[in-house]
Amino acid sequence: MGGHVASAFVEPRSAMNRSDGIAHLHVLMTADAVGGVWQYTLDLARGLRSECVRTTIAVLGPPPSADQQAMAEAVGARLILTGLPLDWTADNAYQVEGAGRAIARLAAQIGPDLVHLNSPALAAHVSFDIPVVAVCHSCVATWWQAVKGGPLPEEFVWRTELAAKGYAAADRLLAPTLAFARATAQTYGLVQAPHVVRNGRRSVVASRSECGGDYVFTAGRLWDEGKNFAAVDRIASRLRVPVLAAGPFDGPNGARADVNHARPLGRLSDSEIVRHLSREPIFLSMARYEPFGLAVLEAAQRRCALVLSDIPTLRELWEGAASFVAPDDDRSAAEEIERLLQDSEARAAMGRAAQERAEAYTVESMSAGVLSAYNSVLRRKSPRSSLEGAAA
């Protein structure tokens, strides 16, 4: 399993192959359609396109939904649905190693100038002959430290070893926050911490909605214990307004979140989420583990007041533009939400502060940072003729 790339291509209607020869850089980028990496990948592809960079996206894990494929088409990216397993849902190390070799063969077939891995473990046992930039979006070792603590379980040990080898094999490592870059460097004993390029998020245009949404909103992979949805659900029982929860409650790895007090909305499209956020509800995140938090950024872009868990990454990004509570302090979170519901001026001021801070986290700045990383490794590493040896 993992040794063959399914020949499922999704071509954009608006072709990126330009006759004027300007689109000179071609990047093969891996992604999955399960969580925030999908939004990151498409926003980055859109931003890079404006810099004349052509992107081919190799999708691992479950195939994208129809609306996700439409999103990829809109940014002009070419999708290749590989059917390969994700590193964090694979049954064993051999499946991940096989997926890495399959990506190397795919690179040999399509001939990109650079490989961008959103799953660094894919490089663990593959010697790519072109530069590799890998992004540390998250990993099971840092997740375990933040959520559980103590020795890693056996099924996490081999995943951590693969991630470590992938980090060592990459020509450049990136991370979305300084706090997470430092945590990654410490966990894996890296000589140099990943370079920080903060994520950005495209602001989706929405029709004007009535403000003053007297409800609380949360969104994300709610099945992930790192999101700490159990605390959000308990907080919902303390509030006089509803807590709306957007996102899947069942994960591809078998994890599941129970909901007893919040109002589950299930998985929503980007436009549906924007419709809710445009009413400027109070946005709540009690995450124990959040290397960046695109859902928080989306809420801030819509001028929502933010009530966030007090963890290093969220402090780094939103200090002075959000209210912070300990991840396990349900009472304080509920009290802060009630205070904001009763004080419309304070709530509006927090929303404006969040929106102003969000203006620093743009797709343009993210794309510029990633492109700078591309250029640095392309200058440093001479390209070779093919990947045939690496893919063998």
φ and ψ at residue 343, rounded to 5 degrees = -115, 90
pLDDT recorded at residue 21? 36
Neighbours of 364 (CB within 10 A): 12
Question: How are strands ordered across the β-sheet holding 8-10?
Answer: 8-10, 78-81, 53-60, 25-32, 114-117, 132-135, 172-175, 195-196
| Rounded Cα gap, residues 302 and 308, in angstroms | 16
pLDDT recorded at residue 358? 98
In this prediction the pTM is 0.89
For tokens 């997926």, what's the residue? 99
pLDDT recorded at residue 209? 56
For residue 329, CA distances in Å to 222, 287, 325, 333 come to 19, 12, 7, 6
The secondary structure of 86-135 as a DSSP string is PTTT-SSHHHHHHHHHHHHHHHHHH--SEEEESSGGGGTT---SS-EEEE
| Ordered alpha helix ranges (H), 222-329 | 229-236, 270-277, 294-301, 312-318
What residues does 58 pair with on adjacent strands? 30, 80
What are the structural domain ranges in the chain?
8-200+363-391, 216-358
Per-residue pLDDT of the chain (392 residues; tens, 9 = 90+): 444 454 454 444 333 343 333 348 999 999 999 888 999 999 999 999 999 999 999 999 999 999 889 989 899 999 999 999 999 889 999 999 999 999 999 999 999 999 999 999 999 999 899 999 999 999 999 999 999 999 999 999 999 999 999 999 999 999 999 999 999 999 999 999 999 999 999 876 655 555 557 999 999 999 999 999 999 999 999 999 999 999 999 988 889 999 999 999 999 988 899 999 999 999 999 999 999 999 999 999 999 999 999 999 999 999 999 999 999 999 999 999 999 999 999 999 999 999 999 999 999 999 999 999 999 999 986 544 333 344 44
| Rounded Cα gap, residues 100 and 132, in angstroms | 12
**C-alpha neighbours within 13 Å on the C-beta side of residue 27:** 31
Would you say 383 and 344 are in contact if contact means Cβ atoms under 8 Å apart? no
The rounded radius of gyration (Å) of the Cα atoms in the chain is: 21
* 8-200+363-391 and 216-358 have identical folds: yes
pLDDT recorded at residue 205? 62
For the chain, report the end-to-end CA distance as a whole number of angstroms.
16
The secondary structure of 11-72 as a DSSP string is --SS----TTS---EEEEEEEESSSHHHHHHHHHHHHHHTTTEEEEEEEESSPPPHHHHHHH
| Rounded Cα gap, residues 309 and 315, in angstroms | 9
Tell me if the domain spanning 8-200+363-391 has CATH number 3.40.50.2000: yes
pLDDT recorded at residue 11? 46
| Rounded Cα gap, residues 26 and 78, in angstroms | 11
CATH of 216-358, one of 3.20.20.80, 3.60.15.10, 3.40.50.2000, 3.40.50.300: 3.40.50.2000
